[in-house]
Amino acid sequence: MKQTVSAKPGPAGERALTLNVSPAPAVRRVTVDENSAGQRLDNFLLRELKGVPKTHVYRVIRAGEVRVNKGRAQADTRLELGDEVRVPPVRLPERASGEAAAAHVPAREFPVIYEDDHLIAVNKPAGVAVHGGSGVSFGVIEQLRRARPEAKFLELVHRLDKETSGLLLIAKKRSALTHLQDQFRERETGKTYAALVIGDWPGNKKVLDVALLKFTGSDGERWVRAVENSHDPQAEQAKRSISLVKVAQKFPGYSLLDVTIKTGRTHQIRVHLQHAGHPIVGDPKYGDFEANRAIARGPLKFERMFLHAKRLRVAHPARPEETLELEAPLPPECEKLIADLKR
């Protein structure tokens, strides 16, 4: 409980002390609505208790301070419509509260490809993270929520790398989120990317079926590498990954590819193409750094990674018989580079 002590003149000119006590946080009982039905308890609490560290949220769950319909529950308990959740009083440390208040998220709308009552498809620019974290204070979802304060529910359906531009789906209802994520999980979506790579891609190389392994490098960064055979000491940890490649256009020294992913591994396209000997132009992590520097500082002046989520096919979350064919045009800087390479 926060206490503030102040002094003011007393009846005989003396200074009396006044104790101002701020009210303690109170228990809240929240009824699960359609936007939260089907959500895990831990994720529900992280949204209800914004700014509270995850470790503290899990601690109060384990301690039994969180109740669902007056009974103890686990972090992975799935909430149902109409459930009553007891949210315990949680106080943020003053320092954490001050930092949260100081973190200003600018409101921002992004180019909308499609929108209805259930979802939004935006054309994400390169260089913008999809969400805050890992040294980034905010991303698309935080900015969109700030731009649309009246929206009761906005959640990312999937992810794109910060350096990748293109189609990004945001759900406007919990039911839409679960339905769309199920499609992504079951690989029922058609996800095609435009990638400009260095070199002459062989037209007969159409399938990249190479397992990928995530690991943390000595720099603390997350990396992914290709695992070619069973003799690799970490072969068992690697996951099968499949990318389908089609040549869209060829230029002197470069190839524009359409890459459709059949699995959704971290950095899949970037590592697959690099492993095949044709890294993506401008890739800061897996690319040809000398070539990237030359194309950025030379007459072409291209300073981003040329990977763009161009096409996405999903069943509408409320009308499964309806297929949404979404397409995001190439950004102007990518169009300009292609035009320059044609000359």
Return the active site residues: 161
Q: Write the DSSP symbol of residue 28.
A: E
In Å, what is the CA distance from 90 to each residue of 62, 85, 94? 15, 15, 12
Q: Are 66 and 87 in contact (CB under 8 A)?
A: yes
* Tally of CA atoms within 13 A in the half-sphere of 180 that contains its CB: 27
Angstrom CA distances, 54 to 7, 43, 139, 161, 227, stand at 40, 10, 19, 24, 34
259 close to 204: Cβ distance less than 8 angstroms: no
Whether the CB-CB separation of 338 and 249 falls below 8 Å is answered with yes
Residue type, 243: S
User: What count of residues does the chain have?
Assistant: 343
**Residue 53, Cα to own-chain centre: how many angstroms?**
19
Alpha helices in the chain (DSSP H): 41-48, 54-62, 94-102, 140-147, 174-185, 268-275, 289-297, 332-342
Per-residue tokens: 247? 């040549």
Strand partners, 260: 192, 244
Residue 75 and residue 61 in contact, taking contact as beta carbons nearer than 8 Å:
yes
CA distances from 133 to 92, 129, 141, 247, 285 (A): 19, 9, 12, 36, 19
Q: Under DSSP, is residue 61 helix (H, G, I), strand (E, B) or coil? A: helix
